[in-house]
Structure formats: C-alpha cells, structure tokens
Amino acid sequence: MFLYDSGRDGYIDLMELKLMMEKLGAPQTHLGLKNMIKEVDEDFDGKLSFREFLLIFHKAAAGELEEDSGLMTLAKLSEIDVSIEGVKGAKNFFEAKVQALSSASKFEAEIKAEQDERKREEEERRNRRAAFRELKSAFSQ
C-alpha cells in the first residue's frame, strides 16, 4: 500500500488508487474508483487508511466482494501465491502486514494521547481564566 502513497500521508486517495490499479494492470473508471473507496471507507474521509486497505482482503476472504468488482480485482492481484513465494515468503508478507497494522495502532494511540493532553490543558486554561476572573471581580468591587 505504502508503495503507492505518493503523498506520504498514510492514506491512498483517489488518484493514488487510480495509479495503483493502472500499475497492477487493472485500470478503473473514475466512478469505479470512487465506489471501491466507498465500499471500505469506514470513516467516510474519501481515502483509504491502512486498516481500510486491509479490510479489502478481509472482505475478499469472507466472500463479501462482488466477483467482478474493482476491490476483488485488487485483492486477487495483490494476493501472495505460496506455491511461488514459498511459505517463508508468505510468512514475511503477512508479518509485514501485521507489523504495519500494529504500528498504525500504536500511532493512533499516540494521537489519542496527544488529543487527550490538549483537552486537559485547555480545561486547565479555562479553569485558570475563571479563577482569575473571580479574583478580579473580588478586587473590582
């Protein structure tokens, strides 16, 4: 996935998905690309996160994708063939996917911690302002 993330923002947007599908030899129409994103876009941001990208393969394995859909084509073109790659190659492939997923989870946890810290700091600022206004009003009388 990250090979095609030309914006280096951790997401695959419409144009990056278009390029990916073209390089995989399965070009899609603009509408087809939008539908591909829409089918797995859990947060409705119009682009694919790594988790949403992995969801493509989960849905393909569970038989939840239409056989002729762009996502099924992507899943088939991105599969690893154990008979060609060998068990070790498949192991490395999936370990890399798991590692990237756990890194993404760690990153999300760090972002959440930063957001919580900002909220706490903002609450402290509000409390200090309220206390200051209270003291100011006591001296103003």
Per residue in 57-72, pLDDT (tens digit) is 888 888 888 888 888 8
pLDDT at 112 over 90: no
Mean pLDDT, range 18-25, rounded to an integer: 84
pLDDT of residue 98: 58
pLDDT at 82: 43
Token pair 């951790």 is found at 10
Band of residue 87 on the pLDDT scale cut at 50, 70, 90: very low
Q: What's residue 125's pLDDT?
A: 94
pLDDT at residue 99, rounded to an integer? 63
Rounded to 10 degrees, the C-alpha dihedral 18/24/27/28 comes to: -60
Q: Does the structure show a pLDDT above 50 at 136?
A: yes
Who has greater pLDDT, 141 or 50? 50
| Alpha-carbon span 58 to 78, nearest angstrom | 13
Q: In which region does residue 27 sit, left (phi positive, over 0), alpha (psi from -120 to 50) or beta (all else)?
A: beta
What average pLDDT does range 14-25 have in this prediction? 86
| pTM for this entry | 0.53
